[in-house]
């Protein structure tokens, strides 16, 4: 009986052992690449479990300024792998190179389980010395950075969005070129050029380690990258980093926290710089400050009188015609300022409301669409950013976030006197973006030729050869006559010589021509929109500039301060 029991137990042990052997065969030989209903790749899972990695570059294309300088900062950094704390490595030598104590360097590993950046801002010499050590786990590399990035709103934001990535690029998803970690552009140039910037693989440092973090079979850290001499692509913008820096500094130093500036190169109509405030948090790109306000429509105030003046000149209204500028905008009572009787040119210089409401009423009787037609000739009848057919994109826009202009909300308003008057001074329903107003000034300064605004000139391969270029594009066939344009230029100059811009802009190193504007937001709103839009130098125009403050309170003139700073800095840059 006892012998039978022992035999039974032996058989059970043998069966159990055979089952265990069979299971091991299943796991390690038969189903190593497709285990269970989920088809788990056990080899890959095992490797991943024992692999430490560090992403140096996510593989997304690069944005460059006009001179080829990356718009996103790259910081020379010392990257350390955590397994070093349990190994012998030249810690004293590395500490000496980066001017740190070995003790401080050793303490940096406390609590670290993943590779980390120990120090940034290394010199080229320090990087060379560190990499010459050829120590596994110690690397001096250029790490992309986002903090303090210039032109943040122009560049835009990216973030992972698996559902959107899969729906926009189904073929790449199915081929495994992109996955749930792929970042997609959600604003600015990152959105506009996402199909060209999209990453198809990152550059990663990999290290295979055992359970204690020590190297497996003496394997060194390997760098894996899907990039080659052609990809990822690079987007060459028209921005100038030096100019962009000058604009941002001027806006911030002047105290504008809700507003910004736009600068256009008049000859090419390229965007040289653009600033929008408030800034957005890169960790929350859709939160506060996410909107690029320079592309959105706002009340332009008296800057819009430029359109009415252009139409008046085109209809032959004489500059010697006089207006009662003591009256209010409806001309049914006294105004806030006693300006006396002024001719057309001086009425524009001091921003007389009565003169322009009177003109608008007359002009709209002759042609109900005079404002829209004149705006078209000034380059602001529609969106002003570069757009055209590009590959299979029927309407490719370099500024996808740009708002359309608004003049009249309803055709009925064109027969309502007060609606016409409010529209004539850039109030009621008039909405223009700062970019559009800058384009209007650029058109006038260039002699009346309207063009679309470019912010990207070329798409380049990684080796800097050209993939494709974006040519300059006109914006409509109709133009103002040379005589009308010359009269507009002289009137804009008079604003600075004797009008509303005299106290702030008359003593700058470049002669400026332009127009001020103040848009009221209602009786209960304690601030208004203040604008100055112009161009310079007056005799040989090179730049069109708009500065706007969307929260200007009484007796604040931050717009003029910022405008002055920018003009002065550009003058210094040319010396």
pLDDT of residue 51: 62
The residue among 27, 47, 67 that closes a domain is 47
3-state secondary structure at position 281: coil
pLDDT of residue 277: 96
- Whether the pLDDT of residue 52 is over 70: the answer is no
Q: Worst-scoring range by mean pLDDT, 47-61, 101-115, 159-173, 248-262?
A: 47-61
- Please report whether residue 102 resides in a domain: no
pLDDT of residue 218: 46
Dist CA 435 CA 455 (whole Å):
11
Dist CA 344 CA 323 (whole Å):
7
* Count of domains forming the chain: 2
pLDDT of residue 230: 81
* CA dihedral for 380, 435, 535, 236, sign (positive or negative): negative
Residue 268's pLDDT band (cuts 50, 70, 90): very high
Helix (H) or strand (E) holding 548: strand 543-552
Cα 221 from chain centroid (whole Å): 36
Start-to-end Cα distance in the chain? 110
What percent of the chain clears pLDDT 90, i.e. is strictly above it? 65
CB 356 within 8 A of CB 331: no
- Whether the pLDDT of residue 563 is over 70: the answer is yes
Q: Does 22 or 149 have the greater pLDDT score?
A: 149
- Whether the pLDDT of residue 355 is over 80: the answer is yes
Q: Tokens representing 447? A: 């002699």
What percent of the chain clears pLDDT 70, i.e. is strictly above it? 85
* Segment 8-21, tens digit of pLDDT: 676 777 766 766 67
- Please report whether residue 146 resides in a domain: no
Dihedral over alpha carbons 136, 142, 144, 145 (to 10 degrees): 100
* Segment 140-163, tens digit of pLDDT: 877 766 545 789 999 998 889 999
Please state the rounded mean pLDDT for residues 309-327.
Answer: 96
Cα 215 from chain centroid (whole Å): 43
Looking at 157, 199, 272, 302, which residue is catalytic? 302
CB 344 within 8 A of CB 350: no
- Please report whether residue 439 resides in a domain: yes
pLDDT of residue 217: 42
- Whether the pLDDT of residue 28 is over 90: the answer is no
- Whether the pLDDT of residue 42 is over 60: the answer is no
Dist CA 154 CA 399 (whole Å):
9
Q: Tokens representing 527? A: 């601030």
151: preceding bond cis by omega (within 30 degrees) = no
Best CA proximity match to 499, nearest among 346, 336, 327, 302:
346
- Whether the pLDDT of residue 391 is over 70: the answer is yes
Best CA proximity match to 115, nearest among 45, 209, 211:
209
Residue 381 CB neighbours (<10 A):
21
* Segment 85-121, tens digit of pLDDT: 888 899 999 999 999 999 999 999 998 888 888 988 8
Treating both helix axes as pointing N-terminal to C-terminal, what angle do 482-497 and 305-314 enclose, rounded to 10 degrees? 140
- Please report whether residue 337 resides in a domain: yes
Q: In degrees, to the nearest 5, what angle opens at C-alpha 462 toward C-alphas 458 and 463?
A: 95
Please state the rounded mean pLDDT for residues 476-498.
Answer: 96
pLDDT of residue 48: 52
Please state the rounded mean pLDDT for residues 294-316.
Answer: 98
| C-alpha to C-alpha distances, 162 to 159, 168, 173, 183, 184, nearest whole angstrom | 10, 10, 10, 8, 9
- DSSP assignment string, 2-52: HHHHHHHHHHHHHHHHHHHHHHHHIIIIISSSSBTTTTB-HHHHHHHHTEE
Output the 3-class SS for 483-513.
Answer: HHHHHHHHHHHHHHHCCCCHHHHCCCCCCCE
- Please report whether residue 348 resides in a domain: yes
Q: Tokens representing 211? A: 């359970």
* Segment 405-424, tens digit of pLDDT: 999 999 999 999 999 999 99
Is there a catalytic annotation at residue 34? Answer: no
Q: Looking up tokens 């300024």, which residue turns up?
A: 65
Q: In degrees, to the nearest 5, what angle opens at C-alpha 286 toward C-alphas 281 and 287?
A: 60
* Segment 546-557, tens digit of pLDDT: 999 999 998 899
pLDDT of residue 29: 57
pLDDT of residue 23: 61
CATH number (domain holding residue 534)? 3.40.710.10
pLDDT of residue 31: 53
Q: Worst-scoring range by mean pLDDT, 160-169, 347-356, 364-373, 488-497?
A: 160-169
Please enumerate in sequence order all residues whose Cβ is within 8 A of that of 100, keeping only pairs 6 or more positions apart, or say none.
Answer: 119
| C-alpha to C-alpha distances, 561 to 357, 504, 569, nearest whole angstrom | 30, 8, 12
Domain of residue 38 covers: 2-47
Are β-strands 234-237 and 62-64 bridged in parallel, bridged antiparallel, or unpaired? parallel
Q: Worst-scoring range by mean pLDDT, 32-46, 207-221, 246-260, 437-451?
A: 32-46
Average pLDDT along the chain: 88
CB 213 within 8 A of CB 89: no
Dist CA 533 CA 7 (whole Å):
101
Inter-residue long-range contacts of 383-389, CB under 8 Å, 24+ positions, other chains counted: 383/436, 384/433, 384/435, 384/436, 384/439, 384/452, 384/453, 384/475, 385/295, 385/435, 385/452, 385/453, 385/455, 386/452, 386/453, 386/454, 386/455, 386/456, 386/470, 386/473, 387/452, 388/473
Q: Looking up tokens 């001020």, which residue turns up?
A: 516
pLDDT of residue 554: 87
Best CA proximity match to 121, nearest among 100, 150, 93:
100
């Amino acid at each position: 009986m006892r012998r039978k029991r022992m035999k039974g137990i032996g058989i059970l042990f043998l069966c159990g052992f055979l089952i265990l052997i069979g299971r091991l065969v299943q796991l390690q030989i038969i189903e190593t690449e497709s285990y269970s209903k989920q088809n788990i790749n056990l080899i890959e899972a095992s490797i991943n479990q024992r692999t430490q990695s560090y992403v140096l570059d996510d593989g997304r294309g690069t944005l460059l300024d006009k001179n080829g300088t990356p718009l996103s900062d790259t910081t020379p950094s010392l990257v350390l792998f955590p397994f070093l704390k349990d190994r012998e490595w030249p810690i004293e030598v590395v500490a000496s190179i980066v001017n740190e104590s070995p003790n401080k360097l050793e303490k940096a590993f406390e609590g670290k389980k993943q590779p980390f950046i120990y120090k940034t801002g290394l010199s080229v010499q320090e990087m060379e010395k560190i990499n010459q050590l050829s120590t596994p786990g110690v690397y001096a590399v250029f790490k992309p950075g986002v903090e303090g990035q210039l032109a943040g709103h122009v560049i835009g934001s990216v973030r992972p969005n698996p559902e959107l990535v899969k729906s926009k690029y189904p073929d790449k998803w199915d081929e495994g070129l992109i996955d749930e970690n792929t970042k997609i552009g959600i604003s600015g140039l990152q959105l506009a050029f996402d199909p060209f910037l999209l990453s198809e693989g990152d550059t990663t440092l990999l290290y295979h380690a055992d359970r204690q973090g020590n190297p497996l079979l003496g394997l060194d850290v390997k760098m894996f990258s899907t990039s080659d001499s052609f990809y990822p692509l690079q987007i060459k913008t028209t921005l100038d980093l030096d100019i962009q820096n000058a604009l941002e500094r001027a806006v911030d130093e002047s105290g504008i926290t809700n507003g910004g500036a736009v600068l256009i190169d008049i000859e090419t109509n390229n965007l040289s710089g653009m600033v929008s405030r408030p800034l957005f948090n890169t960790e929350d790109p859709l939160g506060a400050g996410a909107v690029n306000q320079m592309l959105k429509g706002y009340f332009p105030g008296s800057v819009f009188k430029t359109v009415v003046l252009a139409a008046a000149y085109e209809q032959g209204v004489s500059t010697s015609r006089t207006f009662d500028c003591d009256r209010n905008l409806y001309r049914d009572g006294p105004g806030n300022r006693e300006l006396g009787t002024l001719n057309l040119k001086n009425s524009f210089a001091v921003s007389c409301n009565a003169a322009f409401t009177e003109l608008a009423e007359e002009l709209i009787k002759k042609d109900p669409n005079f404002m829209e037609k004149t705006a078209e000739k000034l380059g602001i009848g529609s969106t002003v950013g570069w757009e055209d057919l590009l590959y299979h994109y029927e309407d490719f826009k370099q500024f996808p976030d740009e708002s359309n202009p608004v003049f009249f909300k309803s055709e009925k308003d064109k027969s309502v006197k007060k609606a016409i008057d409010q529209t004539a001074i850039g109030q009621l329903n008039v909405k223009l973006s700062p970019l559009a107003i800058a384009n209007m000034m650029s058109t006038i300064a260039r002699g009346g030729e309207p063009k679309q605004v470019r912010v990207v000139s070329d798409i380049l391969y990684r080796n800097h050869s050209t993939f494709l270029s974006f040519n300059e594009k006109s914006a409509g066939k109709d133009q103002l006559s040379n005589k009308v344009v010359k009269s507009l230029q002289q009137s804009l100059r008079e604003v600075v010589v004797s009008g509303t811009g005299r106290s702030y802009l008359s003593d700058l190193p470049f002669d400026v021509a332009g127009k001020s504007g103040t848009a009221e937001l209602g009786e209960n709103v304690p601030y208004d929109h203040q604008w100055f839009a112009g161009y310079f130098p007056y005799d040989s125009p090179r730049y069109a500039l708009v500065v706007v403050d969307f929260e200007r309170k009484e007796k604040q003139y931050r717009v003029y301060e910022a405008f002055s700073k920018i003009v002065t800095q550009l003058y210094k840059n040319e010396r």
